[in-house]
Amino acid sequence: MLFVHRVENLTPGIYAYLRDPAAGDEWKAAMRSEFLWEQTHEGLFLLVPIDAGRIANRLSCDQDIAEDGFFGLAMLARFEEPLRERGEWFYRRLFWECGLIGQVLYLEAEAAGGRATGIGCYYDDPVHELLGLSGHAWQSLYHFSMGVPVEDTRLTTEPGYPWEEERTR
> Could you state, in order of their start, the residue ranges of all structural domains in the chain?
2-149
Bridge partners, 78 (sequence order): 138
Three-class SS state of 44? strand
CATH number 3.40.109.10 given to 2-149: yes
pTM for the model stands at: 0.86
Q: How many helices (H) and strands (E) does the chain have?
A: 7, 7
Longest CA span, the chain? 66
Per-residue pLDDT of the chain (169 residues), as tens digits, is 999 999 999 999 999 999 999 899 999 999 999 999 999 999 999 999 999 999 999 999 999 989 999 999 999 999 999 999 999 999 999 999 999 999 999 999 999 999 999 998 999 999 999 999 999 999 999 999 999 887 778 888 887 787 777 665 6
